[in-house]
Structure 1
Amino acid sequence: MSRLNGKRADAERDGLKVNVAILGAGSIANAMATTLNAMIKDPRYSGLVAPYAVAARDGARAAAFAKQYGIPVSYGSYEELAADPNVDLVYISTPHSLHAEQAILCLNAGKNVLVEKSFTANATQAAAVLDTARETGLLCTEAIWTRYMPSRGIIDRIIASGAIGEVHTARANLGYPIFDVPRLADPALAGGALLDMGVYPLNFIDMAMGPRPIERIITAMIPYESGVDAQSSTMICYQDGTMGVADCSMVSVSERAGTVWGTEGYLVCNNINNVESVDVYDADHRLTKRHSIPEQLTGYEYQVASAANAILDGNGECPEMPHTDTMRIMRLMDRIRSQWGLKYPFE
């Protein structure tokens, strides 16, 4: 058990913060380090978390990263990081194919984990991680930032208010030409568009529609030259007659829109990957209201704060992304890949 799990009163009395460590020193790790440094300067979070350590497989790289961001401790191996008794929460920022192994390492070492999306490469790996989390009694949550952002609450309230009537359809897309990033083209690292970008449209649809029994899935994929998925389109038909449509691409730019259609109107989210505004239209396509998004530090602060609060309260999951939601999305992506006939080399 971590030193702070379920000990909010002790932490507040002793002025202790949740020490966050970053496992991996790639591009997303830089975003997290920037976030943590912004959080310690913000009165909303300054008493909650502290950037504490970073680990990479190269000690010099980890040391340079720590120096750049003012992080006190650096390690040249993940095992050393996991063994540090002062680490409370490990943010895992490595490729998808490594998440399960590293999350289990940290959990078994008594560390809570915040695992970057996609949570793992497949549902079997995800189940193994969550089984370990339950056995250790530690927090384990998926770091898909759109689940934690205020925009999610705005969308939920619009739908619940009946402003667009009864919801029947949700659509979302995300595409960036980033095929030249080596890990995205590598099957051994679970590369491809689905786990990196397709996970966002699928989560958008899942949040908008809620968990509903699926009747069938209709999906098509265009492969990249290395064999991973370059772009795809997926239609989810639910048993109650509603549907969701998700598109993703790592070879082209999309408008990144998310829409929810109802009997009385529809809503449009500008940029599902980091919602900039939510517009509500009536049945005559008139804009009835534009919902602005609260100013944020980087957008990653919400998931960090949620994880830290869960640790202090002794909770094993975050309400924004409970384990059942993570498993549902992982099984859905497995099902989609199965229809494509796409397997990773390690499967």
Structure 2
Amino acid sequence: MKFAILAAGNIANSMAEAVSGIDAVEKYSVACREIERAKKFADKWDFEKAYGSYEEMLEDPEVELVYVASPHSHHYQHTKMCLEHGKHVLVEKAFTVNAKQAEELIRMAKDKGLLLAEAIWTRYMPSRKMIDEIVDSGVIGKVTSLTANLGYVLPHVERMQKPELAGGALLDLGVYPINFALMAFHEDVQNITSTAVLSPAGIDWMNSITLTFADGKMAVLHSDMLAQTDRQGVINGDKGYIEVQNINNCEEIRVFDLARKMIARYERPQQINGYEYEVISCMKAIEEGKTECPEMPHSETLRVMKMMDSIREQWGMTYPCE
């Protein structure tokens, strides 16, 4: 499949590394606003073509699947452009800035019969199935709650600080604890309470979110762009608990009993860098004529976007691009 990358920032390099290890992917083209940057990226990762315009690349009839790697603020615009040109799209998380944008893009993809998928890699990784199987085995008993956090020291990252680029911790980091919770607990979310520390520019530097589910389960979540956290997810039951080391890219799963004694540990399968799973899923879905991937269906993308809209409303936080 002829694979293209729209916008060649840091995350695009990670995707290029991943697809370099997938035999079925042809590294076809990359586009940037500056042709020299595109050429440099194409040379580095051995892509066949480089474009200095997104529109020009999308007019290339050979392009099949486009990975949108631009900032959150531009996902809606760039994904819409891809769909208008008849391209299948894998768009980086967070999917869009808000649910309204997401609904329009999903509707458009379905009308055109094109694949549209959110590239939240943790949904596609084999470790997700491993976690579910451990919980379903009953080893930790009846599950009642979980905690999850993700934090990195990112004040130097310009796009994270800018409201006009939909910056802040929530869309970039908070989306992972939220997805961790929704992958573990499948009932409807009955109540959301949250608080945030906002920057002078009006984006969230850090936040705390509590989800209460219809069956009585609870998830306590935290994301932070000013400090390093342990990135741990813990699922609690009446017979023990599970620790997931690094919810952003699971490194190991540990199981503990009521005496807090570790009774099992599982390593994640070997991987290129973790991004490959979402691409493989997209290719399979395209071959089967689907407009969504089963690991991250449109209904879940919309669910997350609506939750984040509700959370930002509690904070009074909006973006200029809305």
Instruction: Compute the TM-score of the two structures, normalised by the length of structure 2.
Output: 0.98
Q: Partner letter of residue 63 of structure 1?
A: K
The answer for the alignment partner of 1:289 in structure 2 is: 264
The answer for the alignment partner of 1:334 in structure 2 is: 309
The answer for the alignment partner of 2:164 in structure 1 is: 188
Q: Distance in 2 between matches of 1:107 and 1:199?
A: 24
What secondary structure sits across from 1:38 in the alignment? coil
The answer for the alignment partner of 1:158 in structure 2 is: 134
What secondary structure sits across from 2:134 in the alignment? helix
Whether contact under 8 Å (1:26, 1:93) holds in the other structure is: yes
The answer for the alignment partner of 1:249 in structure 2 is: 224
Pairwise CA distance, 1:174: 0.3
Q: Distance in 2 between matches of 1:106 and 1:136?
A: 11
The answer for the alignment partner of 1:236 in structure 2 is: 211
The answer for the alignment partner of 1:43 in structure 2 is: none
Give unpaired runs (5+ residues) of structure 2.
Answer: none
Q: For 1:61-72, what aligned pairs fall within 5 Å after superposition?
A: 61-72=37-48
Q: Distance in 2 between matches of 1:174 and 1:258?
A: 9
Instruction: Compute the TM-score of the two structures, normalised by the length of structure 1.
Output: 0.91
Q: For 1:252-331, what aligned pairs fall within 5 Å after superposition?
A: 252-331=227-306
The answer for the alignment partner of 1:199 in structure 2 is: 175
Q: Distance in 1 between matches of 2:253 and 2:27?
A: 33
Q: Partner letter of residue 173 of structure 1?
A: N
Whether contact under 8 Å (1:258, 1:271) holds in the other structure is: yes
1:38 aligns with 2:21: yes
Q: Deviations over 1:42-84 (max 9, x none)?
A: xxxx1x2111100011111111111111110111111111111
Q: Partner letter of residue 191 of structure 1?
A: G
The answer for the alignment partner of 1:5 in structure 2 is: none
Q: Partner letter of residue 325 of structure 1?
A: E
Q: Distance in 2 between matches of 1:125 and 1:180?
A: 28
Whether contact under 8 Å (1:100, 1:128) holds in the other structure is: no
Q: Partner letter of residue 90 of structure 1?
A: V
1:95 aligns with 2:71: yes
Q: Distance in 2 between matches of 1:104 and 1:50?
A: 23
Pick aligned residue for 1:125 from 101, 122, 126:
101
Pairwise CA distance, 1:346: 2.3
Q: Distance in 2 between matches of 1:200 and 1:152?
A: 13
Q: Deviations over 1:98-123 (max 9, x none)?
A: 11111111111110000000001111
Whether contact under 8 Å (1:170, 1:209) holds in the other structure is: no
Q: What is the root-mean-square deviation in Å for CA atoms of aligned residues?
A: 0.9
Q: Partner letter of residue 227 of structure 2?
A: S
What secondary structure sits across from 1:316 in the alignment? coil
Q: Deviations over 1:198-255 (max 9, x none)?
A: 0000000110112x22222111100123210000101111232111111000000100
What secondary structure sits across from 2:38 in the alignment? helix
Q: Distance in 2 between matches of 1:321 and 1:215?
A: 21
Pick aligned residue for 1:108 from 69, 81, 84:
84
Q: Distance in 1 between matches of 2:116 and 2:142?
A: 34
What secondary structure sits across from 2:20 in the alignment? helix
Aligned residues: 322
Pairwise CA distance, 1:160: 1.2
